[in-house]
Amino acid sequence: MLPEEGFIRWLLWAWERLLRLEGGTEDFRRRRRLVVPVAENFPVDPGLEGHDLADDYFLFVKEHAGVQGWPLELVPEDGWADDDDLGVPYDPCLLGTPTRLVAQLAHGVAHQVVLAHGIGDLEENEVDPLADATAVFLGFGIFAANAAARVAGPQSWLGPTLAPVGALSEHEVAYALALYAVLTEIPDRHVEAHLRPNPREFYRRAVKHILRYRGRELHRLRQVPLAPLSPYR
């Protein structure tokens, strides 16, 4: 299953602007790497619990995203307010499922990136989808794709269910991940090894579609230069 054509066009629009902010495609390929769900990428202190454990994960998410110097604050969802400009909310219930916690933290960091750089003239309902796409752009596509569906919680195979993380659907996030992998020339097997069955199949179809039908747009994205006013200069 592929996303609708309107979404694909929107994603290509968003990706071009993100590449310009990154400093062009060459800098993107040089600086970004796909973050995979292995302990080496998140060597949290095993003695931590609760908010301290979440904050440890948050430190590694910021490091992988390249925003470790930003003054962001991790805030439990029940203590977060809409006017908290630098707050990144998280659900403490996700501490039992670290991959979904990382997906939520990455979405929160990406949300801050979108707001900080004013990517496009956005309506309020456009910010969360763009934050999802930005989380994939920052390297968290595997986490985002695996967390984009409702699944049973960690306590029982019958429930409770865990809501999807983010605003985009599984096949939309998988398409964004495929675009990331094609642009960075990551072997498909390195991506597929970490995906759940549904997003893995969506990813495979998306890669084929991009390579077969999006050659002109792909060529343009590969040629994106450094933006004149890039904040990374």
Q: Which pLDDT tens digit goes with each residue over 183-204?
A: 999 999 999 999 999 999 999 9
Q: What pLDDT score was predicted for residue 207?
A: 99
Q: What pLDDT score was predicted for residue 157?
A: 36
* 231 found inside a domain: no
* 179 found inside a domain: yes
Give the mean pLDDT of 65-91. 86
Cα–Cα distance, 232 to 88 (Å, whole number): 22
Give the mean pLDDT of 134-153. 87
* 186 found inside a domain: yes
CA distances (Å), 178 to each of 11, 84, 118, 183, 199, in order?
A: 12, 33, 25, 9, 10
* 145 found inside a domain: yes
* 230 found inside a domain: no
Cα–Cα distance, 201 to 88 (Å, whole number): 31
Q: Nearest Cα to 1, choosing from 187, 200, 180, 185?
A: 200
* 228 found inside a domain: no
What is the token pair recorded at 118?
């004013």
* 227 found inside a domain: no
pLDDT at 160 exceeding the cut of 60: no
Record the pTM.
0.90
* 185 found inside a domain: yes
Q: Which domain holds residue 76?
A: 5-222
Contact 15, 21 (CB under 8 A): no
Contact 174, 147 (CB under 8 A): no
pLDDT band of 121, cuts 50, 70, 90:
low
90 bridge partner residues: 76
Q: CB within 8 A of 55, min separation 6: which ones?
A: 74
**Distance from chain centroid for Cα 219:** 23
pLDDT at 230 exceeding the cut of 90: no
Give the mean pLDDT of 89-95. 95
pLDDT band of 118, cuts 50, 70, 90:
confident
Domain count, the chain: 1
Q: What pLDDT score was predicted for residue 86?
A: 85
